[in-house]
Amino acid sequence: MTQKQDMLEIRKLTKDSAPLIHCITNPISIHDCANIILAAGARPIMAEHPDEVEEITAEAAALMLNLGNITDARIASMQRALKAASQRNIPVLLDLVGVTCSRLRRDFARSLLSSRQISIIKGNISEILAAAELPFHGTGIDAGIQDAVSEGNETWYCETARQLASYFQCTVMATGKQDLIANATEAFLVSNGHTALSGITGTGCMVGALTAAYLPGSRAIMQRSGSENNRNGSETTAALLGAITMGLAGERAAAVSRGPGSFQAALLDEIYCLTDEQLLSGARVRMA
Ligand SMILES: Nc1ncnc2c1ncn2[C@@H]1O[C@H](COP(=O)(O)OP(=O)(O)OP(=O)(O)O)[C@@H](O)[C@H]1O
Ligand SMILES: Cc1ncsc1CCO
């Protein structure tokens, strides 16, 4: 499967070229996001002053926008950074943290998405339903139990995700116990992970940051293949790589930790130490 080779290639490109990843994100998990980007081999910059973000995005290889704990200043910065990214064709990941909580975040997310410049829309399943303007049951920043991906609803969810991806010309990434990743034509379910990942805050944000770190590598692969049509496909591979890496690192960290504190430290170590062989033999992905 060439997708597996592409994943390994993206990992190598990321470690070899250490791309700069500009993140405009919430203060709760900002430190964890910066560290996970470093653990993947990329370089984070977390600048958010509205008057400097255009310059910083212009120098970056990918942009990550996370709506958690949104403020007026970050709304202004995200709009300006997205414009700078669009002008230079820099890939952008939008993490829909909390769009189920407020009309403000839903309207803002919609305005960012309507630019059609977002490469990956990420959220929990309730946040993805909200982005698709479908009924959702999220509470706070968590997905509603009623919305969880299950055998009974996965076909419908995959079709919904493919349609959303087609509408916004992007990859859709719904994270949770099972991660659903789709572009306009294909959908995948990733079942790597461990309940300990939901026992520390910010794991969702960290998957977004990790996936953003892999976007420049996926862009390089697409450019090498010489086909713009492949853009969504290679960005989908970056999303799969982010979800599998986080899930596997969570499984391995849970096996060597005693509780949330040691789990958090072990998680970072496992992301850093994960080998290509462990990734390939441990990945649990199926097409849906
Ligand atoms: N119950 C679970 N069982 C197995 N893996 C899980 C579970 N919950 C989360 N994960 C893993 O953790 C990753 C992040 O999940 P999710 O998006 O639900 O995080 P979250 O707890 O909502 O994070 P945040 O605190 O940032 O909102 C997923 O990609 C998945 O690998
Ligand atoms: C707890 C929390 N609140 C807003 S963002 C965030 C981090 C996890 O998404």
Binding site membership of 201 for ligand 1 (Cβ less than 6 Å): yes
* Residue 253 contacts residue 192 (beta carbons within 8 Å): no
C-alpha–C-alpha distance, residues 160 and 165, integer Å = 9
pLDDT at site 229? 58
Average pLDDT score over the chain: 95
Residues 6+ apart with CB under 8 A from 209: 21, 23, 25, 32, 33, 34, 36, 37, 44, 64
Query: Which range among 33-37, 231-235, 236-240 shows the weakest confidence by mean pLDDT?
Result: 231-235
- DSSP H stretches of helix in the chain: 2-17, 30-39, 53-59, 72-88, 103-113, 125-131, 154-168, 203-225, 231-256, 260-273, 276-282
pLDDT at site 224? 85
Query: Which range among 23-27, 50-54, 224-228, 253-257 shows the weakest confidence by mean pLDDT?
Result: 224-228
Q: 30 CA distance to ligand 1 centroid (A)?
A: 17
- Condensed to tens digits (0 to 9), the pLDDT of residues 49-108 reads 999 999 999 999 999 999 999 999 999 999 999 999 999 999 999 999 999 999 999 999
> Which ligand 1 atom is nearest residue 175's CA?
17
Q: 70 CA distance to ligand 1 centroid (A)?
A: 21
pLDDT at site 225? 80
Binding site membership of 141 for ligand 2 (Cβ less than 6 Å): yes
- DSSP H stretches of helix in 18-43: 30-39
- Condensed to tens digits (0 to 9), the pLDDT of residues 5-64 reads 999 999 999 999 999 999 999 999 999 999 999 999 999 999 999 999 999 999 999 999
Tell me the backbone φ, ψ of residue 228, rounded to 5 degrees.
-60, -30
Look up the ipTM and state it.
0.95
Mapped onto helix, strand or coil, the DSSP state of residue 17 is helix
pLDDT at site 140? 84
Q: Is 122 annotated as a binding residue?
A: yes
DSSP string covering 191-256: ----GGGGGSTTHHHHHHHHHHHHHHHHHHHHHHHT-GGGHHHHHHHHHHHHHHHHHHHHHHHHHH
Domain of residue 241: give its range: 2-287
Binding site membership of 204 for ligand 1 (Cβ less than 6 Å): yes
Binding site membership of 195 for ligand 1 (Cβ less than 6 Å): yes
What is the CATH number for 199? Answer: 3.40.1190.20
Average pLDDT over residues 129-148: 91
Count of domains observed in the chain = 1
Q: Is 203 annotated as a binding residue?
A: no
pLDDT at site 1? 47
User: Among 30, 21, 17, 23, which residue's Cα sits nearest to residue 62?
Assistant: 21
pLDDT at site 228? 63
Binding site membership of 205 for ligand 2 (Cβ less than 6 Å): yes
pLDDT at site 236? 97
pLDDT at site 227? 67
Share of the chain above pLDDT 70, in %: 99
The closest ligand to the CA of 124 turns out to be 1
Q: Which amino acid is at 131?
A: A
Average pLDDT over residues 163-167: 97
C-alpha–C-alpha distance, residues 272 and 267, integer Å = 9
> Which ligand 1 atom is nearest residue 123's CA?
17
